[in-house]
């Protein structure tokens, strides 16, 4: 009996160490995969520690084992299946879904302890008031994480649109109302541990929906990252509820790391966290505020003309963006670049920090399509090379190639880091139509004399381009 | 109160550690990092386990705990596997070169 506690302690320490090393390693390309496994091992160790400790001290009944195995099998199998099946383009949604479930788990733990104070929890270890307060935090953050993540996922999947009332001032009243209700419930529950329980759960769930629903699709990754941070907080709160320091450390680490990551993402998009959360979808307000105006000098061309220019080029830079990810055209793109490479045309990819549907997503998508890692150039590396580039192919990117960000101080985009594609000799922009990017701002690039628009879905245009290139006999000699 | 004050220290130091761990991240790794951190937040499965173990014969509590455990493991297993899938694509490039 007595030697179990030190063993459990050692396991916990080891698990925390491995988790920290895991998070650290995940931030370097070379060590990332190992680090991910390390973190997985740490989680298994931690679970083993809890089971060992309980078996050695209070014992685990057969009944408990049955329910543990049921939960593990069902949750684990569903998780594994989802992870194997999901396409790489749906990554933001799936992270949101997983994240929501983590929040739900914390919520349920707190709910269980609140409903049956005598059986669960850490009686005698934590004071009554503190335990109730931890339950409140866990319920509140857990519910927001769950409902917010599910709304985020539904919006990214296109199952939910943005209702118009959420763009008006009414949503602020709705959210404040929900927050006040949750606060009232929280105070009740903190005091007597019974009343206000469901008031908190319902009010904070509604708050999660109310806050997430008005946010536009392009800002959603920031929200998911923030909710990811919340689910860490929820786990830490659950740690206070059941009296587990390991949970508190791990939750706090994820919470803090998530905040940093959220900040990094915001910086990349030149958006402040406040404007993402409370500004609603961009567009309605910013169109009027500047950078507007009509296009005067649009040149449009066919895939055939584009293919002719590509054939004559020596250096081609591809700028992939959100539109490419949405059209799932990364594989077709790879075929086009293979043809170009066979014709000994130098092809590189210019990756804006927020290209794709969330930062780093484009790298994953291109890696999936077999694009060599060395061909992906980051913005600071590729920008000086544009003047020596013959053809730039912009695929479904818009705001990240808008020269306004450097030239027009009145533009809302001013100051955002952009790719200087206009420096190249010829720019082709593949785009579905003349609609603005998510910032809702006119793109001066489209008006420049060296820019041609190729209208159409990225996947279809690239397919046509591939046929045209083959007709021209490009790259077929090898 | 000793657990509580210790736990507050743990919370504080854990948060500081988290802030420090992610200093410079290449943009390539933002998505995998987010997904990996997300998997770790499923650590709340420990709380679910504790809940089930302590619930004795209380059936509603066993059910709540079990559902909670299921949700947490969905998060953990799915999160780690999906992160591994993404990272595998990077490492494959490295070795083939």
Contact between B18 and A255 using a beta-carbon 8 Å cutoff: yes
- The SS3 call for residue A115 is helix
Give the number of other CB atoms < 10 A from CB of residue A109: 39
Q: What is the tens place of the pLDDT at every residue in A340-350?
A: 888 888 899 98
**Domain spans, chain B:** 26-90
Contact between B42 and A105 using a beta-carbon 8 Å cutoff: yes
* Contacts of A249 by beta carbon, 8 Å cutoff, 6+ apart: A16, A19, B10, B13, B14, B17
Q: Identify the pLDDT of residue A139.
A: 93
Question: Cα(B30)–Cα(B37) distance, rounded to whole angstroms?
Answer: 10
Q: Identify the pLDDT of residue A439.
A: 59
Q: Identify the pLDDT of residue A290.
A: 41
Q: Identify the pLDDT of residue A14.
A: 93
Tell me if A102 sits within 8 A of A231, measured CB to CB: yes
Give the strand pairing for A426-431 and A451-455.
Answer: parallel
Question: Cα(B41)–Cα(B34) distance, rounded to whole angstroms?
Answer: 11
Contact between B74 and A101 using a beta-carbon 8 Å cutoff: yes
| Cβ-Cβ contacts under 8 Å, A33 against chain B | 84, 87-88, 90-91
Question: Cα(A171)–Cα(A301) distance, rounded to whole angstroms?
Answer: 44
Whether the per-residue pLDDT at B97 is higher than 50: the answer is no
Distance to chain A for B10, nearest Cα, Å: 6
Where do we find the tokens 């990332």? A32
Place A88 in a pLDDT band, splitting at 50, 70 and 90.
confident
Place A289 in a pLDDT band, splitting at 50, 70 and 90.
very low
Token pair listed for A259: 């905040």
pTM for the full predicted model: 0.80
Average pLDDT over residues A257-270: 80
Distance to chain A for B8, nearest Cα, Å: 9
* Contacts of A344 by beta carbon, 8 Å cutoff, 6+ apart: none
What is the ipTM score, two decimals? 0.90
Residues of A noted as catalytic: 399
Tell me if A243 sits within 8 A of A210, measured CB to CB: no
Q: What is the per-residue DSSP string for A271-300?
A: --HHHHHHS-SSSTTHHHHSS--------B
Average pLDDT over residues A9-38: 89
Residues B16-30 as b or e (16 or more Cβ within 10 Å = b): ebbbebbeebebbbb
- Among B residues 72-91, those touching chain A with beta carbons less than 8 Å apart: 72-91
Nearest alpha-carbon partner for A144 in A176, A113, A110, A182: A182
Q: Identify the pLDDT of residue A357.
A: 66
Judge whether B25 is closer than 8 Å to chain A, CB to CB: yes
Q: What is the tens place of the pLDDT at every residue in B19-72?
A: 888 777 777 778 888 899 999 989 999 999 989 988 878 888 999 999 999 999
């Amino acid at each position: 009996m007595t030697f179990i506690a030190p063993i459990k302690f050692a396991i916990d320490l080891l698990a925390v160490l491995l988790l920290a090393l895991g998070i650290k390693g995940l931030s370097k390309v070379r060590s990332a995969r190992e680090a991910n496994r390390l973190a997985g091992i740490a989680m298994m160790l931690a679970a083993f520690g809890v089971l060992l400790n309980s078996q050695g001290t209070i014992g685990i009944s057969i009944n408990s084992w049955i329910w543990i195995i049921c939960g593990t099998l069902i949750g684990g199998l569903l998780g594994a299946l989802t992870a194997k099946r999901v396409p790489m383009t749906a990554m933001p949604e799936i992270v949101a879904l997983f994240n929501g479930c983590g929040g739900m788990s914390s919520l349920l733990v707190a709910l269980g302890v609140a409903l049956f104070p005598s059986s669960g929890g850490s009686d005698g270890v934590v004071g009554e008031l503190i335990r109730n307060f931890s339950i409140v935090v866990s319920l509140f953050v857990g519910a927001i994480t769950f409902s917010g993540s599910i709304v985020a996922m539904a919006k990214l999947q296109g199952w939910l649109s943005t209702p118009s009332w959420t763009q008006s001032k009414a949503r602020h009243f709705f959210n404040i109302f929900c927050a006040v209700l949750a606060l009232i419930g929280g105070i009740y529950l903190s005091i007597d541990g019974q009343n206000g329980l469901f008031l908190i759960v319902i009010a904070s769930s509604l708050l999660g929906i109310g806050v997430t629903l008005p946010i536009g699709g392009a800002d959603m990754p920031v929200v998911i990252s923030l909710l990811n941070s919340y689910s860490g907080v929820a786990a830490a709160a659950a740690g206070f509820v059941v009296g587990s320091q390991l949970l508190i450390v791990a939750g706090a680490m994820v919470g803090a790391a998530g905040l940093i990551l959220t900040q990094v993402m915001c910086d990349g998009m030149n958006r402040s966290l406040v404007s993402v959360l409370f500004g609603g979808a961009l567009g309605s307000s910013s169109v009027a505020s500047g950078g507007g105006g009509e296009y005067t000098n649009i040149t449009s061309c066919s895939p055939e003309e584009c293919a002719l220019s590509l054939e004559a080029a020596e250096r081609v830079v591809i700028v992939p963006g959100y539109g490419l990810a949405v059209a799932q055209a990364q594989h077709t793109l790879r075929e086009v670049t293979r043809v170009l490479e066979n014709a000994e045309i130098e092809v590189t990819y210019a990756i804006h920090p927020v290209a794709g549907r969330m930062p780093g997503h484009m790298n994953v998508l291109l890696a999936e399509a077999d694009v060599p890692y060395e061909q992906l150039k980051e913005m600071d590396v590729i920008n000086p090379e544009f003047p020596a580039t013959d053809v730039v192919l912009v695929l479904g990117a818009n705001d990240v190639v808008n020269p306004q960000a450097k030239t027009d101080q009145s533009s809302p985009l001013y100051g955002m880091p952009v790719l200087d594609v206009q420096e190249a000799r010829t720019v082709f922009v593949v785009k579905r139509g003349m609609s603005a990017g998510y910032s809702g701002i006119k793109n001066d690039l489209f008006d420049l004399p060296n820019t041609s628009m190729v209208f159409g879905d990225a996947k279809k245009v690239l397919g046509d381009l591939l046929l045209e290139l083959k007709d021209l006999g490009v790259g077929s000699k090898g | 109160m000793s657990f509580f004050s210790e736990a507050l220290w743990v919370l504080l130091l854990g948060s500081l550690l988290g802030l420090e761990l992610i200093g410079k991240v290449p943009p390539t790794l933002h998505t995998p990092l987010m997904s990996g951190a997300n998997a770790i937040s499923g650590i709340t499965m420990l709380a679910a386990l504790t809940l089930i173990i302590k619930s004795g014969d209380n059936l509603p509590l066993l059910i709540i705990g079990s559902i909670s455990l299921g949700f947490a493991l969905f998060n953990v297993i799915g999160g780690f596997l999906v992160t591994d899938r993404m990272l595998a694509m990077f490492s494959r490039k490295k070795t083939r070169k």
